[in-house]
């Protein structure tokens, strides 16, 4: 059996780590992290060696949320919210301030089979654990109807996972 010098081992490990980070950057996947049961995969971003998330990574959080809507499962969507999150929903006058309320909202909302599309957005990365996304989106529903709305998301990294801590959505006012 050949002995490998310490310097060669360090170089090999460094090369493997660099290859993993490079592959992650180009494939859009991140290093594995525990996920809540049934949650949308890939909800973790900003894992590039502990730095701030990029605007692109923050923008991808909406895609993960929209994919969770497509599951039709309220619990999967609620898994993307912090336990103390505030949801000011698009098609309800009730402010939701806990998981049970968020689940109840999505139980109704998901029956319409919504799909969202960002029309415009401004993303602000506040620090390595906090970011916001604000703008307008359009929801399309299974009955062919649509609703345009304004949105604000505040994301926070909680125990290594990005969660929604505040989500405000309101239908666009009539012109």
Rounded percentage of the chain residues whose pLDDT exceeds 90? 66
| Whether residue 67 sits in one domain with residue 125 | yes
Say if 102 falls within a structural domain: yes
Which residue range(s) make up the domain with 2?
Answer: 1-28
CATH number, residue 141: 3.10.450.50
Mean pLDDT confidence for 164-172: 96
Task: Specify whether 151 is located in the same domain as 104.
Answer: yes
Range with the poorest average pLDDT among 23-32, 41-50, 155-164: 23-32
Which candidate, 92, 81, 70, 82, places its Cα nearest to that of 149?
92
Q: Are 124 and 152 in contact (CB under 8 A)?
A: no
In a domain, 36, yes or no: no
- Give how many domains the chain has, as a whole number: 2
- Residue 2 is encoded by which pair of tokens? 């050949």
pLDDT in tens, 99-124: 999 999 999 999 999 999 999 999 99
Global pTM exceeds 0.85: no
């Amino acid at each position: 059996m050949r002995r490998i010098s310490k310097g060669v081992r360090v170089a090999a490990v460094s090369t493997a780590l660099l290859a993993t980070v490079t592959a992650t950057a180009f494939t859009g996947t991140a290093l594995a992290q525990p996920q809540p049961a049934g949650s949308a995969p890939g909800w973790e971003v900003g894992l590039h060696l502990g730095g701030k998330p990029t605007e692109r990574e923050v923008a991808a959080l909406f895609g993960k949320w929209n994919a969770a809507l497509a599951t039709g499962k309220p619990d999967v969507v609620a898994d993307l919210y912090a336990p103390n999150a505030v949801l000011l929903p698009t098609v309800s006058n009730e402010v939701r301030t806990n998981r049970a309320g968020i689940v109840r909202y999505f139980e109704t909302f998901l029956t319409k089979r919504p799909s969202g599309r960002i029309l415009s957005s401004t993303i602000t990365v506040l620090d390595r654990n906090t970011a916001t996304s604000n703008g307008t989106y359009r929801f399309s529903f299974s009955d062919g109807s649509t609703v345009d709305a304004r949105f604000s998301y505040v994301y926070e990294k909680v125990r290594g996972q990005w969660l929604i801590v505040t989500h405000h959505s309101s239908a666009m006012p009539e012109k």
